[in-house]
Structures are given as C-alpha cells and as structure tokens.
Amino acid sequence: MPTASPKKSYEWLQFVLFVGTYALLNYGYLKIPDELFIKTLYYHGVVAVCADAINQFAPLEQVVGYQNHLLSTKADLEIVRGCDGVGVLLLLLSAIIAFPANLKRKLLGLVLGISLLYAINLLRIGMLYFVVAYYRDWFLLTHTYVAPTLLVLLACLYFAWWAFGSLAGDNHAPA
C-alpha cells in the first residue's frame, strides 16, 4: 500500500493547522458576550476612534459614538458582529500561524497583520459612515460587496507579501 510522501503529509498538516486555528479562533470570537462587544470592545476599539477621526477631518459632521453606533444628524451606523472585519482577521491570523516560517517571523507577521487590518477596518467603517450619510442608496452595495472584497483582497496581498518575505530567507520547512 503506497504511503503519502513526507511533503504531502506536511501539506496536510498545514491545512489541518489552518482550519483548526480558524475554527478555534472563531469559536472564541463567538463566545464573547454581545454586551461586552457593544459596550466595551466596539465602543473603545472602533466607534470612539472613528468618531474622533471623522470629527477631526470633517468637523461639521459632529459625529458621536454611543455603544456600537456612530451617530450624527445625517446617519446612524451600527457596528455589529459579522460586519466588524474580524472574519478576515481570523483568516489572516490562521494563515500566518499555519505557514512554515520561524516563530520570530510569524510574530512579526501577526503584529503587522493585526495592525494593518485594524487600520484598514477603521477606514472602512469611516467610509461606510459617509456612504450612509450622503449616498444611502449605495450602502447595501458598498457594505455587502465592495468593502468586504477590498478587505479580503488587501489581507491576501499582505499575506502574499509576508509569505514571500518568509520564503526569501531560510525560514521555511524543506520542500
């Protein structure tokens, strides 16, 4: 009976590590109570930051943050689970963890990836505020298709950049 080559076994192990890591991270994400998200994590991590940024660049908007809402006289944008960019973040983290690179390179990839996606997500939410405020008819298209596609594309580009940089050195498992 033929056995799998060591390379094939290693590839399967990477795949299982990727899927397992994603499942575990997603399980943990779903176990966080909604109230903690709404009153603490979304408010301090997203809403207050976006409101301050919008008011800095467009002071006439007079946006305030309340729990998981960006509010003004023109818009009420609610940030909810599933529309917070975490799904893409978890995929990126899982891919980096499963990729054959040394620990230092993985930690660097995780820190840079989290920072990049956080910044991009804040820009996405700020942009969605302006879409709701001024182009309400475009919200569904922008929120459902354009913004998520761009977020996934940018995460993939970051991963490719990071992964090729990891392979440039002698950090990967033997082929």
pLDDT for 171? 47
pLDDT for 3? 61
- In this prediction, residues 102-120 reach a mean pLDDT of 97
- In this prediction, residues 4-21 reach a mean pLDDT of 84
Render pLDDT for 36-60 as a digit per residue (tens, 0 to 9): 988 899 999 999 999 999 999 999 9
**Residue 11's pLDDT band (cuts 50, 70, 90):** confident
pLDDT, averaged across the chain? 92
Render pLDDT for 67-100 as a digit per residue (tens, 0 to 9): 999 999 999 999 999 889 999 999 999 999 999 9
- In this prediction, residues 113-130 reach a mean pLDDT of 97
pLDDT for 99? 95
pLDDT for 96? 97
3 state SS for the chain: CCCCCHHHHHHHHHHHHHHHHHHHHHHHHHHCCHHHHHHHHHHHHHHHHHHHHHHHHCHHHCCEEECCEEECCCCEEECCCCCCCHHHHHHHHHHHHHCCCCHHHHHHHHHHHHHHHHHHHHHHHHHHHHHHHHCHHHHHHHHHHHHHHHHHHHHHHHHHHHHHHHHHCCCCCCC
